[in-house]
Structure 1
Amino acid sequence: MKHYISTLLIFFPFFAVAQVRPQQHSLSTLTGKVIDGDTKQPIQSATIVLLRKDSSVAAQVISQPDGDFTLKNLPEDPYILQITVVGYQPIYRPIPGGHRTAGTPLNTGTIRLKPVAAQMQEVAVVAQRPVFRTEIDKKVFNVDQSLASKGGTAQDALRQVPTLNVDATGNVTLRNGSPTILLDGKQTQLTLDQIPADQIQSIEVMPNPSAKYDAQGNHGIVNIVMKRNRKPGMNGSLTGVGSTLGETYGFANLSVYKHKWNFTFNGMAHGHRSLANTTTTYHDLLSNTTAVQHGHSVTIGPFQSLRLGVDYNMDAHNTFSLSGHVGFGYHPTGGSQTTDYLGKGGVLDTIGSRGTYNADRFVFTHSNFDYAHTFDKSGEKLTASAALETYHGNDHGNYSFQYLDKGGAALGNPYLQQYRGFGSAHNLTLQSDYTDPLQDGKAKLEAGVKTILHGSRSFQDFEDDSAQRYVINPNASYNYSYDNNTYAAYTSFSQQLGAFSYMAGLRFEKYDYTGHLLDNNTSFGYHQNGLYPSVYLTEKFDDNNDLHLNFSRRVNRPQWWQITPRINYSNPLNPQAGNPNIRPENTNLFELAYNTQLSSIGLNTTLYVKNTLDPMMAYNKPISSTSNDTLLSTYENGNYSNTYGAEVIARIPITKWWNTTTNFNLFETDINADNLSQGLSNSGFSWFAKLNSDMKLFRLYTLQLTGNYNAANVIAQGKVLASGGMDAAVKREFLRHNAGTLVLSLSDIFNTQRSRIDTYSSGVFFQDAITKPETRVLKVSFMFSFGKELNGERHKATLESNG
């Protein structure tokens, strides 16, 4: 309870700031806001210039992250307002002279800039939104134009994002590491296949996050930003999806925006089905024996979720938001596993046959409260939020294992095991942020506090069949709980000095982790205090060329499965266990990036270095010192690892009806872990490539092709082998006002997506593990949009003033 009270006391000074008397504007002040004309997202670092009649510059400023700009101390003369930014059409707007009422600034309202790509495609009567925009500490990718993700989940949407790789098993990597996934800037219990892609507005990719964001995650952050209704009146959509995998989806979205209120409803029903095949070959190099294991599993079951939200725009300065989200599902999984044990010379000796069944039922809830206060001073803003997530689930299942001779006859009695268990978790996040523009908008101070209180409990009883009755197996059963709490504060300062700008920040985090083995009343864990700086330097040569130099320090703390000291025997050939002695890893990230616009081609080039101390890594070792026939997978700290890379993103409009975005990532990895085993070091070169292609055909159809290839790359004890694939989707809009949208998509056209990892220890073992899910799936989705917008210039003006 004391944690909650202390956190509320931290929040109090920030709420008090909201009571400061608003500043008075001078008579000669010009304010406005710049947004993307398609996505309605604010544009940061746009150059706003006020020109006199003789074309001389009267004033100049750079737009803020929220798109706002302010020009002060202006004589009341007529001007020309010029706004330019890389990737958008420049805009010119006359500003009349004359006197205004005292205390009333001149506001240009919301100014919408058209992307360069949209200008080129007007002849084809199709305006495509830009694939992404670059901000000082992130890249923002719009997913609305991603056809392959229509009717899908966040996992499908992330597959379409340049710089990100999603493998056949759904694991997301950014520059060959696993990033931290956030939902609207907050941690979430939801998995990617529980987030509808149609509700995603954009995806923010931050390989080198600023001090404003959590320090956790040394492979960057991926923030999924959900859509927020900005259309007046009642609007909504209904979507139905079916696939050859047997999966079905249904989505319903409804929003009502009237006067000061905005109500939203989102519903999802998912008939889940997934298939996976595995092949693991293990060679014991000491005894010259081999085990070949083939596995097959099918998971089915429904998942449903409902979300309700309300926004109340009390006045021009205060907005309150409240939302609630509940989801529940039931996922039974059946599987089989056959292991051939081969003696010397590859001769079959015995066979192991294993059957598995598991059924889990779960429910989660999420509630969120947000408050935003804007001051009269343009860009000054205070926000506060509280979010609570809970999870409850139970599962049960059974295993059977039988040894067979090489002819298939049973050897002895089968081994039977059953289990039951439950789990629960909660996550409370409290956060407040304050932004204050200084020096007439040429500088900015940001500060904030954040507290994350997380707790979890897991219980599972395993019972073995003995003399026709089941008895508890204490070696397999566990009763475990843990708490991990984070207390953070940050501040950052940015300033514009002509063509040069910088942002420097520092974050402090106090982290506490405590695990409990409840059956034997033992505890373990660690406590850590850390400072995490970030620095961003930018030189803007002209409207089409800018150079960035960035640095940040990050930390990656062990997850519960990496630290829990229990052994999971679900795969008897390769059991898994955590390591309570594992330490967090710290990473220094450096980036040198150059952005340019070459005619209609947008080019983003980045050189990066990632230095990690005490890297946490998966480590395989024989489970017994006297036998090498079974490997234990656990986690250990190595000495260090370094990655040197170059990444290129190019946005290329080939013709008026054909646009492409290409992404290349070339990198060298050096790993040193000889503290674990003498000579255990590895290094190698690898690369990743992705191509997104959009074509408008016959003025009726939109065709999208997405291809990716991930070359083999090294890990401490081996390498991850190459994989790749191609997706295709075609869209047709019809009905009045294009209210109906039909999308036909085929994922992994050539059925090449898979995960394959080779691990080895010189003279001890070699293991080849292949996982091949069902990835070639034909999907049909149909979406019907409806709505009636309110009329009235007054209401429209209110919407624009709210961004």
Structure 2
Amino acid sequence: MNQTEIINIFTKKTLGLTFVLSAAALAFAQEKVGISGSVVSKNNLPVPYASVTFSNKANKQFSDATLTDEKGQYKLDLAPGAYDITIEAIDYQKSVVNKQITAAGNIGALSIDPEKSATNLKTGDIQGVVITAQATKPYKVELDKRTYDPSQDIVSKGGNLQDVLSNVPSVSVDTDGTVSMRGSSNVKFLINGKPSALLGIDDGANALQSIPADQIEKIEVITNPSSKFEASGTAGILNIILKKNKKTGFNGSVTGTVGYLPQTNLNTNLSWRKGNFSWFLNGGGGYRESKNTNRSDDYFSNAIAASDFTERHQNSVTNSKNNNYNASAGVVYDISPKTSINASGTVRTFDSENDGNIDYSYFYLSNPSSSSNRRTLGTNNNLAFQGDFGLDHKFDDKGQNLSVSLSLQSNRSFNDTNIDETRDGIFSLKDIVNQNTKNKTLIGKADYELPIGEYSKLEAGYRIDINSNDYSNDVQESTALSPTLSFLRPYTYDATYKETFNAFYLQFKSKIGKISYQLGLRDELSNIDINYANLSPKDKDIITTKNYNNLFPSVYLSYEFAKDNQLLLNYARRIDRPRSFFMIPNPNYSDNQNIFDGNIDLNPSYVDSYELGYSISKKKFTINPTLYFRHQTDDTKMLVYNKLAEDENGNLITPRRIESHTKPINLGSDDRYGLDLNFNWDATSWLKFLGNVDLFGYNTKGSTLYDTFDKNGNPIQAVADFNGSGFSTRARLTTTFKVDKTFNFQIQGFYRGGQKTAYQDRKDMYAINFGASKTIWDGNGTISFNIQDIFNTRAMQATTYTANSIRDSYMQWQPRQFALSLTYRFKQGNEKVEQPKRKKDINSNATGDDQQGGPM
């Protein structure tokens, strides 16, 4: 791409963005002055954590709210004008005073009187007031999860969900976009507690790139989910919570981003709260280019004929362009103080164009060399819809609650690819691949909570998932010997994959002194139907039904030494269900020399997971070391093997051609154990650290026979050996420097150690990122700049061994890139202030659908 093309892209994509941001700045800019003050009691003692609301009499847009600190003091910026000031605090009477704000400075002390009924209450029973404010710590440890706040992550500003996940403790993103937790890629993704159409059909890298970073409020990392969660996802669950503003009045923000490799994004978050109604609207879109590089060198040891090659070298570069747009809107209506209903809708589109160029070079037994070129031009169009409906009812004020929800999702994907191949400059073959996938999902849930006494709670629930995937795959091919396009029969098929899960769970929580515990049991009944038919004469139609009924227990224990200082022990059993396209016999055809085969006989694998953790959180630091052990049976492994190419009748093709195949199989076991250490430390007022170190060992067992051929081309069986053990590391450190109140920058380093088995030797990998952020427009705007992979080192390298070949491979999903983003925030009305409960509720359900708080 030349410089003129880049400038044209930036000009076209950012012209509208510039107008929007300029209009926002002109519409909402207002000079403000910094004021301070304090709240005191009748005896002139400071009142900590009191809410102070400033209501502008002339224009509610300029109203604001804050909390006093532990010394009863507060600071905020206000537009000059006349204000009604409302002061509220637990155990104190509400007070309202009038003041005229004219200039910056201290407005003095505001006094409030205690309630008459407050004299006998213990301050230890008070939880405190909650308002919306920036978290002081980006990482928070809870009994059953760890919560990451990306708002302070400068490195991923202007990026997407994939960029944010690259910075989350205990989570890593490989160069191909695969997300893993503690070395395992079987991660379950949820959006606001549910599977979502926002993530597409396959939870792939394209889906992760379609969710803007600025729409994410927080990410919950659940490494050992309890029985209340669905049992799939043996590595754990990543629950992405999207923003829903809790402020009254009309509030929102607009963020625009430009970057290189060329990218432009414009996203907005809007919300409005008034009376019994509240609604939100999040949406945006963008353009992005990417470059994927793959290289592999195969060395074969079974050549006998002069036409057999002893070496094959592949160099592949794929350039992609994509446009993505998404919008989510929702409304909540409070029917009564105890009953509310909610409804929301989501639409997402993703379009991409891919231009791939694969160069092959061959060296034959008779020494002459040859080369071929494979050019792929592909398009993808994905459209997804989702509707969610819910009812929440409180039977009383003691915590007896019922929550019912229904989610309807629809997703369709059209993939078209044209492939042209030449051999030594002469036409060799042409393929036309049309692959269509349609998915429909229904999820229904009911959750009931019943408090028993002061510290105990019983939870029960039911869930049904109905998921249907329809695949239609057409492959046409012409060759130099047969120039007329005709269907490639083994890869032209129709398939339907339908799964139905019914789940019931029961959970009990309680506390005895400093010991808290939670016991749970989940029962899942699974039914899977597969109907597959292709055009190959040697293949028969396949109709398969599979049924499973599994119990999944979970146990959580904690011992509280002191406040924010506890020991945690837990156990959970999980299931790894095969992805639907893993079970379609011939799911994909994009390269006749590197073919992925499905396995309709693939079964789930199961994992027993144990964790022993310790957590201590102080004002300036949090440390959370966790020892873990995970034993997985019937593990899914990828078998790579070579075979001689066959025609649609099963006969060998002449001249002989070697094909590389990859196939998922159930085999043996996999043990993972190690120490996962997370910490954040505010070393000084200007220096902060956030780190994650995972020191882990692995022990993989399993070997299998597979069909291949000997030096004479005769069929034989060889052994694929997956046995291996060793020790490896993953580490990430983010360092934040605060230059002044408005300017910060970050440096982030990432390292992943190598892993070795008898089957594969994977090399280590590292990368360094940089980000800077500047607050402007009196705090209403932020400008950010970041560079991903400064030294262009983030690439995966491995050596794979088969019975008759050795392969050295290299993959880089995305080269170095940078981005510049601008955010403008505007608001009307006040921060939402939630009055606290009198006593600690150890069983609070704070995060909504499919989320639970555990024992303290």
Q: TM-score, normalised by structure 1?
A: 0.81
Quick one: distance in 1 between partners of 2:836 and 2:262?
A: 43
The correspondence for 1:130, drawn from 111, 114, 137, is: 137
Q: 1:517 to 1:679 in 2, by over 3 A?
A: closer
* Alpha-carbon distance in 2 for matches of 1:722, 1:273: 27
Task: Say yes or no: does 1:226 pair with 2:235.
Answer: no
Moved more, 698-707 or 156-165: 698-707
In the aligned structure 2, how far is the partner of 1:230 from the partner of 1:664?
35
Aligned to 2:167: 160
Following superposition, the deviation at residue 231 of structure 1 comes to 0.4
Matches within 5 A, 1:3-14: none
Find the residue that maps to 1:231 and give its secondary structure. Answer: coil
- Which residue does 2:462 correspond to in 1? 449
Q: 1:204 maps to what in 2?
A: 220
The one of 794, 815, 825 aligned to 1:775: 815
One-letter amino acid of the counterpart of residue 700, structure 1: T
Equivalent positions of 1:344-743 (< 5 A) are 349-404=369-424, 409-410=425-426, 413-440=427-454, 442-465=455-478, 468-519=483-534, 521-566=541-586, 568-597=588-617, 600-624=620-644, 629-676=658-705, 677=719, 680-714=722-756, 717-736=759-778, 738-743=779-784
Extract unaligned runs of 5+ from structure 1. 1-33, 38-75, 77-92, 119-126
The structure-2 alpha-carbon separation of the partners of 1:361 and 1:600, relative to structure 1 and needing over 3 Å to count, comes to closer
Q: Deviations over 1:594-640 (max 9, x none)?
A: 11247833211111111011101111112249989432100111111
Distance across 2 between alignment mates of 1:94 and 1:223: 43
- TM-aligned CA deviation for residue 149 of structure 1: 2.2
Q: Compared with structure 1, are the counterparts of its residues 604 and 291 closer, same or farther at alpha carbon in structure 2 (3 Å cutoff)?
A: same
Is the aligned partner of 1:111 residue 2:128? yes
Cα distance, 1:543–1:799 mapped onto 2, change above 3 Å: closer
Aligned length: 691
RMSD after superposition: 3.1
Bigger shift: 355-364 or 741-750? 355-364
Letter in 2 for 1:303: N
2:19 aligns with: none
SS at match of 1:198: helix
Distance 2:193 2:466 in 1: 16
How many angstroms apart in 2 are the aligned matches of 1:740 and 1:658?
Answer: 23
Distance 1:401 1:613 in 2: 42
Question: Letter of the aligned partner of 2:475 in structure 1?
Answer: F
The residue aligned with 1:20 is: none
Q: Work out which of the residue numbers 346, 351, 365 in structure 2 matches 1:325.
A: 346
- Aligned-partner Cα distance in 1 for 2:758–2:573: 23
How do 1:236-247 and structure 2 match up within 5 A? Answer: 236-247=252-263
- How far does residue 750 in structure 1 lie from its aligned partner after superposition? 1.1
Q: Does the Cα contact within 8 Å between 2:128 and 2:836 map onto a contact in 1? A: no
CA distance in 2, matches of 1:593, 1:632: 42
Cα distance, 1:359 vs. partner?
A: 1.1
Letter of the structure 1 residue corresponding to residue 470 of structure 2: R
| SS at 2:128 equivalent | strand
Within the candidate set 746, 753, 763, 2:787 is matched to 746
3-state SS of paired residue (2:703): coil
For the structure 1 residues 322 and 94, does the alpha-carbon distance in structure 2 shift closer, same or farther, using more than 3 Å as the test? same
Q: In 1, distance between residues paired with 2:252 and 2:742?
A: 23
Q: Answer whether contact 1:233 1:258 (CA < 8 A) is retained.
A: yes
Query: C-alpha distance in 2, partners of 1:637/1:551?
Result: 24
Q: Is the 8 A contact 2:248 2:272 kept in 1?
A: yes
Q: Distance in 1 between matches of 2:444 and 2:676?
A: 36
Residue of structure 2 in register with 1:186 after alignment: 194
Distance in 1 between the 2:676 and 2:122 partners? Answer: 45
- Amino acid of the residue matched to residue 499 of structure 2? N
Alpha-carbon shift at residue 688 of structure 1 (Å): 0.4
Task: Work out the CA distance in 1 between the residues paired with 2:661 and 2:700.
Answer: 21
Partner Cα separation in structure 1 for residue 342 and residue 387 of structure 2: 11
SS at structure 2 position matched to 1:192: helix
Distance change in 2, residues 1:521/1:612 (3 Å)? same
- Residues in 2 aligned to 1:35 and 1:416: alpha-carbon distance in whole angstroms: 71
> Quick one: structure 1 residues 414 and 610, their matched pair in 2 at CA, closer, same or farther if it must change by over 3 Å?
same
CA contact (8 A) 1:203 1:223 kept: yes
- Alpha-carbon distance in structure 2 between the residues aligned to 1:705 and 1:374: 47
Q: How does 1:13-28 map to 2 (within 5 A)?
A: none
Percentage of pairs with the same residue: 25
SS at match of 2:489: coil
Alignment counterpart, residue 307 of structure 1, candidates 328, 341, 344: 328
Deviations 1:195-229 (A, max 9, x none): 12111111111111100111111111111111121
Compute the TM-score of the two structures, normalised by the length of structure 2: 0.76
Deviation per residue, 1:28-50 (Å, 9 max, x gap): xxxxxx9999xxxxxxxxxxxxx
Q: Is the 8 A contact 2:639 2:720 kept in 1?
A: no
Give the conservation status (yes or no) of the 8 Å contact 1:284–1:628. Answer: no
Identify if the C-alpha distance between structure 1 residues 262 and 454 changes in structure 2 by more than 3 Å, giving closer, same or farther: same
Does the CA contact (< 8 Å) of 1:340 and 1:348 recur in 2? no
Asked whether the equivalents of residues 279 and 771 of structure 1 are also in contact (C-alpha less than 8 Å), the reply is: yes
* TM-fit CA distance, 1:796: 4.9
Match of 2:337 in 1: 316
Q: 1:790 to 1:207 in 2, by over 3 A?
A: closer
C-alpha contact 1:233 1:787 (8 A) present in aligned 2: yes
Change (3 A) 1:675 1:463: closer
- SS state at 1:570 partner: coil
Q: CA deviation at 1:98?
A: 4.1
Query: What does 1:93-108 align with in structure 2 at a 5 Å threshold?
Result: 98=117
Structure 1 letter corresponding to 2:582: Q
CA contact 1:671–1:716 (8 Å) conserved in 2: no
Compute the displacement of 1:719 (Å).
3.1
| Cα separation, 2, equivalents of 1:545 and 1:263 | 38
- How far off is 1:590 after superposition? 0.7
Preserved CA contact (<8 Å) 2:522 2:551: yes
Aligned counterpart in structure 2 of residue 248 of structure 1, from 264, 268, 291: 264
Aligned partner (choices 286, 289, 304) of residue 270 of structure 1: 286
Aligned equivalents of 1:726, 1:558: Cα separation in 2 = 34
SS at match of 1:475: helix
Structure 1 counterpart SS, 2:151: coil
Q: Secondary structure at the match of 1:752?
A: coil
- Which among 794, 797, 805 is matched to residue 756 of structure 1? 797
Equivalent pair of 1:443/1:495 in contact (CA under 8 Å): yes
- Displacement of 1:421 after TM fit? 3.6
Q: Tell me how far apart the structure 1 counterparts of residues 50 and 216 of structure 2 sit (CA, whole Å).
A: 17
TM-superposed deviation, 1:168: 2.1
One-letter identity of the residue aligned with 1:187: P
Cα distance in 1 for partners of 2:138, 2:830 equals 30
Following superposition of structure 1 onto structure 2, how do residues 277-292 of structure 1 map, counting pairs within 5 Å?
277-287=293-303, 289-292=310-313
TM-superposed deviation, 1:775:
3.0
What amino acid maps onto 1:741 in structure 2?
Answer: T
The separation in 2 between residues aligned to 1:680 and 1:210, in whole angstroms, is 31
Cα distance in 2, alignment partners of residues 768 and 370 from structure 1: 52
Q: CA deviation at 1:95?
A: 8.2
What is the rounded CA distance, in whole Å, between the counterparts of 1:163 and 1:797 in structure 2? 32
Equivalent pair of 1:168/1:775 in contact (CA under 8 Å): no
Q: Equivalent residue for 1:342?
A: 363
Question: Is contact 2:325–2:349 with CA below 8 Å preserved after alignment?
Answer: yes
Structure 2, unmatched stretches of 5+, are: 1-47, 52-90, 92-111, 200-206, 304-308, 535-539, 646-651, 706-718, 839-844, 847-856
